[in-house]
């Protein structure tokens, strides 16, 4: 029987670091804790990632690649159901890298690379939301004045970006625990799409309410 090759140490380090950052928050996780959790020496950790910022940057690179791929799917959104699935997918990715969002202001204040790259993330999200609005407008799912698109897209990006922070403030001890993930993601998707309610065609508005109701009932 051929034995599986062990996972590369660098890969294992990133996986465990992401788990610890998400569980405890990046400021509360030291490289000593990471190496202890992995059962490796601090020297082995430093060999792969000589500074904590390199761990953060590597995880952010992964997140950014996955995000850009997902944002490209906004071109295919045509109605409320497409938008619901797209938004929920975005929140799932944000949840996967939730430490970035819970500790966002702290990370930006001390990591120059994240400070500059997160500007690109926000621009990418805004472009994607505008593409979503454009696609839904072309099918008649929404009717929105072109002069309102920029402000609406920005408002949706603000809620999308800071929703997990709101959840955390609401319930610091439990909000970001894994068992609460589904309800937090559903609430986030609902509140982002709720900003479209004034512009939705009546049938689409009803369908959004039905989607929210179905998922809420399933979450009970």
Residues in the chain: 220
| Closest to 97 measured CA to CA, from 61, 69, 73 | 61
| pLDDT number for residue 212 | 86
Give the pLDDT mean for 56-76: 96
Model's pTM, two decimal places? Answer: 0.88
| pLDDT number for residue 4 | 43
Give the pLDDT mean for 214-218: 65
Question: Measured on CA atoms in the order 144, 147, 150, 151, is the torsion positive or negative?
Answer: negative
User: What does the mean pLDDT of the chain come to?
Assistant: 90
Task: Kindly tell me if the per-residue pLDDT of 5 is higher than 90.
Answer: no
Task: Kindly tell me if the per-residue pLDDT of 8 is higher than 90.
Answer: no
198 vs 196: CA distance, rounded Å = 6
Query: Which carries the bigger pLDDT value, residue 139 or residue 1?
Result: 139
| pLDDT number for residue 81 | 95
| pLDDT number for residue 216 | 66
Name the 3-class secondary structure at 174.
Answer: coil
- Joined together, the tokens standing for residue 71 give 């944002």
């Amino acid at each position: 029987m051929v034995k599986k090759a062990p996972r590369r140490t660098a890969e294992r380090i990133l996986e465990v670091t992401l788990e610890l950052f998400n569980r405890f928050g990046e400021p509360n996780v030291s490289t000593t804790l990471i190496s202890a959790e992995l059962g490796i020496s601090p020297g082995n950790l430093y060999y792969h990632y000589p500074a904590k910022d390199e761990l953060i940057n590597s995880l952010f690179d992964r997140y950014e690649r996955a995000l850009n791929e997902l944002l490209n799917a906004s071109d295919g959104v045509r109605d409320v159901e497409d938008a619901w699935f797209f938004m929920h997918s975005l929140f799932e990715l944000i949840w996967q890298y939730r430490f970035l969002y819970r500790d966002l202001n702290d990370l930006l204040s001390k990591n120059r690379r994240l400070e500059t790259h997160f500007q690109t993330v926000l621009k990418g999200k805004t472009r994607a939301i505008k593409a979503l609005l454009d696609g839904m407008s072309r099918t008649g799912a929404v009717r929105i004045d072109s002069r309102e698109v920029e402000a609406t897209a920005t408002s949706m990006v603000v809620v999308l970006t800071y929703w997990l922070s709101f959840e955390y403030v609401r319930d610091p001890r439990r909000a970001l625990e894994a068992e609460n993930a589904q309800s937090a993601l559903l609430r986030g998707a609902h509140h982002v799409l709720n900003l479209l309610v004034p512009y939705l065609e009546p049938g689409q508005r009803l369908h959004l309410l039905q989607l929210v109701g179905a998922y809420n009932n399933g979450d009970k």
